Structure formats: structure tokens, C-alpha cells
């Protein structure tokens, strides 16, 4: 089973189309899949969109009782995938941004690398459509996130598009403790770092943006850089032992 985890807040304008595009991808690339959409207190009509697509697609909607934020929504979906699986060494979860920041056409490449033995597959986004200052800050991430977060060999920690073997993800969860301590884009980097520690094989695949110009989710460059600096001093995640395969 492939669980497709989509944390969403007020993304009704793109969420339905994203789900439908993923369906088309899996029609051409047949695999058993299930959507796990975390609707974090949306007020824009997301509920109506999801009600419609639940009638046609294998969609499970998770709605927290109170607004949680991106990191908690992402973690909620990941924990649900681990809870559901009965074959964690075989099954996987793929995370996707709800705003078409990443094209669903990337899914087959992620799945192939997981089926070839990778425990963590990182989608590296072609961000040429992003504002140049955002691109600059993203490229400076390995330095800004030091000393607490380092994944040598991975060039993009922020795409939000990752493939995770559920047996590896399960080892990341600690009883009664949150997996992710940071928020926003830094939570994406933190997820990569925490799962990389437990991965025996790590791979990267290039992924294309789903639309142009740059998606709405881009933070302001100064705020992103400051968040990285704080995360690098807040976190204490050891660097992974597994090498990163960039042959794709």
C-alpha cells in the first residue's frame, strides 16, 4: 500500500485537482494507494471539495479538533499511515504539498526508488520559478541549519515531497513525544533529517513544480533564513550514516 499524505489548510482551490492528478498517475502506474488528507481547520470550502472527492477516490480525511499548524498536520498523517499498515517493511507513505508546488508526475520515480530498496527518497525541486532570494536562502540551508541538522548529499530539504518506508518511519516515533519540533518549511527539513538517521538507504530524485509562477506557500526569505538559524540551534539531530544515492 502507498499512502499519499497531504497536509492542507485553506487549499480548496488546488486540493481537488491535486487528488485527481494523483489518481491519473496511478492509473498509468498501477499501484494500490490511499489518500490521507489532513484538513487543518480550513475555512475556504475545502470540506466541500473533499466530500466530493471522497465519493470517487480512496480518500480518508483527518480533521483535528482544533487548528494544529503544518508540522502537526504532517505528523498526524504520517502517524496514521503507520497505524494502518500491517506490512511496514513493504508499505510506504509519500508526502505531497497541497498547492501543486510539486507535480504529481514525480510519484512513479519515488515509488520505484522505494521498491528498489531505499528507505527514504527525497524529492529535490527545480525551484527556478521561485523568487531569487528564496532560491538563495534554500541553497544556503546546509549552513543555516548547522549545527543541529545536517543531511550531507541532499541538496533540497524543503520540497515537501518525500517517500518513506513505514518500517523506517515507525522507528522515528517516540512514545508520547512529537516527532517534529519546528514549523513550516523547517519541519520538512526536520522530517528528512529524523528519518535519515534510521534509513539504511537514502536516495534523491528530481521533481518538477506543478505550476508556475511560484506557489503561494513561499515564505519571505528573511523569515525563512531566521527560522533556519533558530532550528539549527534548537535541534540536535545526528547526521545519517547511510550514503545518499543521487544516480537517478
127 in Cβ contact with 134 (< 8 Å): yes
Per-residue pLDDT band for 218 (boundaries 50, 70, 90) equals low
**Cα–Cα–Cα angle for 111, 117, 121, rounded to 5 degrees:** 50
- 3-class SS at 172? helix
Helix (H, G, I), strand (E, B) or coil at 197: helix
Q: Is the pLDDT of residue 130 over 70?
A: yes
Helix and strand totals (H; E) in the chain: 9, 8
Residue 129 has pLDDT above 80, yes or no: no
Cβ neighbors of 242 (< 8 A, separation 6 or more) are: 119, 196, 199, 200, 201, 202
| pLDDT at 77 > cutoff 60 | yes
CA distance 190 to 157: 8
Q: Which whole number is the average pLDDT over 80-92? A: 97
Strands (DSSP E) along 86-240, which ranges? 92-95, 120-125, 162-165, 202-207
CA pair distance 163, 116, nearest whole angstrom = 12
Q: What is the predicted pLDDT for the residue at 214?
A: 42
Element (H, E) at 245: strand 244-245
Q: How far apart are CA 111 and CA 172, in angstroms?
A: 21
Does 2-245 carry CATH code 1.20.1070.10? no
pTM for this one? 0.94
* pLDDT recorded at residue 159: 93
Domain boundaries, the chain: 2-245
pLDDT at 170 over 70: yes
Label residue 129 exposed, middle or buried (CB < 10 Å: 0-12, 13-18, 19+).
middle
Per-residue b or e along 154-190, where b marks 16 or more CB atoms closer than 10 Å to that residue's CB: bbbbbbbbbbbbbbbbbbbeeeeeebbebebbbbbbb
Helix (H) or strand (E) holding 30: none
Average pLDDT on 203-216 reads: 74
What's the gap between Cα 152 and its chain centre?
Answer: 19
Q: Which three cell numbers stand for residue 163?
A: 517517500
**Across residues 39-63, what is the average pLDDT?**
95
pLDDT tens sequence across 7-19? 999 999 999 999 9
Give the span between the Cα atoms of 15 and 55, in whole angstroms.
Answer: 15
How far from chain centre, in Å, is Cα 171?
18
Is pLDDT of 217 > 70?
no
**What is the b/e burial string over 80-113, where b = at least 16 CB atoms within 10 angstroms of the residue's CB?**
bbbeebeebeebbbbbbbbbbbbbbbbbebbbbb
* pLDDT of 210 higher than 80: yes
Residue with the three cell numbers 534509513: 199
Q: Across the chain, what does the average pLDDT equal?
A: 93
Amino acid at each position: 500500500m502507498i499512502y499519499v499524505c497531504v497536509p492542507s489548510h485553506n487549499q480548496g482551490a488546488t486540493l481537488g485537482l491535486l487528488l485527481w492528478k494523483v489518481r491519473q498517475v496511478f492509473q498509468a502506474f498501477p499501484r494500490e494507494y490511499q489518500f490521507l488528507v489532513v484538513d487543518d481547520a480550513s475555512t475556504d470550502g475545502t470540506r466541500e471539495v473533499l466530500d466530493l472527492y471522497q465519493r470517487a477516490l480512496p480518500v480518508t480525511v483527518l480533521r483535528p479538533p482544533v487548528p494544529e499548524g503544518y508540522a502537526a498536520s504532517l505528523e498526524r498523517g504520517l502517524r496514521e499511515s503507520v497505524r494502518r499498515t500491517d506490512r511496514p517493511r513493504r508499505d510506504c507513505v509519500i508526502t505531497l504539498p497541497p498547492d501543486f508546488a510539486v507535480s504529481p508526475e514525480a510519484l512513479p520515480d519515488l515509488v520505484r526508488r522505494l521498491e528498489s530498496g531505499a528507505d527514504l527518497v527525497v524529492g529535490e525541486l527545480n525551484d527556478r520559478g521561485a523568487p531569487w532570494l528564496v532560491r538563495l536562502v534554500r541553497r544556503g540551508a546546509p549552513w543555516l541549519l548547522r549545527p543541529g541538522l545536517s543531511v550531507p548529499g541532499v541538496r533540497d530539504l524543503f520540497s515537501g515531497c518525500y517517500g518513506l518506508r513505514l518500517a523506517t518511519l515507525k522507528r522515528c516515533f517516540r512514545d508520547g513525544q512529537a516527532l517534529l519540533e519546528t514549523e513550516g518549511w523547517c519541519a520538512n527539513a526536520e522530517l528528512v533529517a529524523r528519518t535519515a538517521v534510521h534509513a539504511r538507504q537514502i536516495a534523491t530524485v528530481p521533481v518538477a513544480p506543478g505550476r508556475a509562477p511560484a506557489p503561494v506557500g513561499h515564505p519571505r526569505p528573511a523569515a525563512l533564513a531566521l527560522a533556519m538559524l533558530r532550528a539549527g540551534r534548537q535541534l540536535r539531530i545526528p547526521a545519517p550514516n547511510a550514503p545518499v544515492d543521487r544516480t537517478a
